[in-house]
Structure 1
Amino acid sequence: MARQSSFLKLEGTIGDVTFYKGANGSFARQKGGISKSRILNDPNFQRTRENLAEFAKAAAASQLLKNAFREITLRSKDLRTHNRLYALAMKVIKSDLVSPRGERNFALGDHNLINGFHFNVNSLWGTAVFVQHTMETTPTDLNVAFPEFIPGTKLARPMGASHARMFLVATALNLAEGTYETNLVSSVDIEINQQPLTGFQVSIPKIATAGTIQVYAIGVEYMQEVNGGMYP
């Protein structure tokens, strides 16, 4: 690395030399590194090629999950949601115990690893809803039921919120084609008060498409009632 001492400070690349500005001045360095052709063909880089192949699959799977659950990411996400989805996809790919290294894929991994993923680590389900729910599956639907609870006690209440609603998202992912189908169902509005709420449940139809992976998510959103209208 060389420091530029001329009163003309260059930025950019000329030939094999790159000129750039750093925190401590302007510098120049010669282009280096390993060529793409060598990485793709040299037997010494076989492990690198295997890693790159699985990194690409994780990127595709995480982007598919992000798109499939856009109804949630529009409502609630944090600055690292995409990165955490990528890390989750990589973890699922590495759990594929059938395919050889470099050919492991999301479809053959342990999908139970998805359980418990939060789209917003700054607002977890357990810090917003303080009542346990039960899930029941039928051949056509997923039903989520809550025991009797007092909304004003069991639901966190953001400033200004007067009501809340639960919502379910169902998606069917086709990893081979990179496509998905998604449904969203919202509950009735729940007034956040001290009146017990009984028989509360939310149901969503399953998307039973052949060759897909079904994934479900639950969320809660809050509204403010103003002159008879509900505002997020």
Structure 2
Amino acid sequence: MARQSGVIQISGTVGGVVFAKDGTVRQKQGSNKSQFNSSASMQRVRENASEFGTAAKAGKLVRDALRRVVVLASDRLMVSRLAQKMKEILNLDEDSDRGGRQILPENLPALLGFDFNAGSSFSGTYYGGVEATLDRATGTHTVNLGELNPSRDVAAPQGATHYRITAAVGSINFETGAVASAEASTVELPLSNAVRPAEALQLVRAAAADESLIVAVGVDFFQQLNGKFYPLNSNAYNALSVVAIG
């Protein structure tokens, strides 16, 4: 590698030659985009890149459809974890060729149990019963919450005085990218020793035959002060998980 000498200080690229700040000089490398697009040896790389792109796009659609609840409970690696999960679902497509596999509705149940906050799983935070029923004919979907004792059945963080259960349904067309959603939640409930009766949350969202339905349920925590409810400063303890696919 050539090295600049003398008092002239140059930094940057001039005429295809790169002048580095440390005085070294090298020729600018040409673009390998053409090789990537046409070389037979890059075929497998192109296929993988295409499918990772499809998985990442699918993950974004899920996040967009459930955005209002995802923002309450997600970790910093959630985007990459969800894309990885969607790639696993993509791999279940046995009808398409490598590089062209798609997210198929019949494979989406593999998303069940996905926690948007890896540091606080829903199953390890909320021990009350949760059962979701989807009704495409009417467009009304129900999330049934079983009876529970909050002090025993909700793993609340220190400082929390109340909790809230929120449910959301997202409809997604993975081909067109169209998304829509509906949400419902309980009021802020005290973390007391009093038994909380069963409750049902209604989600109204019609979906066409070519749209997939994803239901997520989460729990978030509050501190009551002077009659007002304040979300805890950190969402680290909030949980959200996929509970139903339709």
TM-score, structure 1 as length reference: 0.84
| Matching of residues 137-152 of structure 1 within 5 Å | 137-139=134-136, 140-152=139-151
Indicate if the aligned counterparts of 1:164 and 1:192 stay in contact, CA closer than 8 A.
yes
Distance 2:227 2:93 in 1: 52
The match for 1:67 is: 64
1:99 aligns with 2:96: yes
| Matching of residues 27-176 of structure 1 within 5 Å | 30-32=27-29, 35-107=32-104, 110-139=107-136, 140-176=139-175
Indicate if the aligned counterparts of 2:129 and 2:147 stay in contact, CA closer than 8 A.
no
Indicate if the aligned counterparts of 1:95 and 1:109 stay in contact, CA closer than 8 A.
no
5+ residue gaps in structure 1? none
Amino acid corresponding to residue 64 of structure 2 in structure 1: N
Distance 2:186 2:224 in 1: 16
Structure 1's 179 and 7: CA in aligned 2 closer, same or farther, altered over 3 A? farther
Amino acid corresponding to residue 192 of structure 2 in structure 1: N
Superposed CA deviations along residues 12-42 of structure 1, whole A, max 9, x for unmatched, are: 4444454557xxx776554447611121122
The match for 2:180 is: 181
Secondary structure class of the residue paired with 1:84: helix
Superposed CA deviations along residues 64-103 of structure 1, whole A, max 9, x for unmatched, are: 1222221123211111011111111211111111111111
Distance 1:7 1:79 in 2: 48
Shift of 1:230: 2.2
Indicate if the aligned counterparts of 2:167 and 2:185 stay in contact, CA closer than 8 A.
yes
TM-score, structure 2 as length reference: 0.80
Amino acid corresponding to residue 89 of structure 1 in structure 2: M
Indicate if the aligned counterparts of 2:58 and 2:174 stay in contact, CA closer than 8 A.
yes
Secondary structure class of the residue paired with 1:142: strand
Distance 1:71 1:62 in 2: 15
Distance 2:23 2:152 in 1: 60
Distance 2:112 2:43 in 1: 33
Distance 2:66 2:161 in 1: 26
Indicate if the aligned counterparts of 1:18 and 1:29 stay in contact, CA closer than 8 A.
yes
Indicate if the aligned counterparts of 1:150 and 1:193 stay in contact, CA closer than 8 A.
yes
Secondary structure class of the residue paired with 1:66: helix
Indicate if the aligned counterparts of 2:163 and 2:189 stay in contact, CA closer than 8 A.
yes
Structure 1's 114 and 8: CA in aligned 2 closer, same or farther, altered over 3 A? farther
- Identical-residue share of aligned pairs (%): 29
Shift of 1:49: 2.0
Distance 1:12 1:82 in 2: 35
Tell me which moved more, 152-161 or 6-15.
6-15
Superposed CA deviations along residues 76-131 of structure 1, whole A, max 9, x for unmatched, are: 11110111111112111111111111111113671111111111111111231123
Computed over aligned residues only, the root mean square deviation of the Cα atoms, in angstroms, reads 2.7
Structure 1's 190 and 114: CA in aligned 2 closer, same or farther, altered over 3 A? same
Q: How many residues align?
A: 229
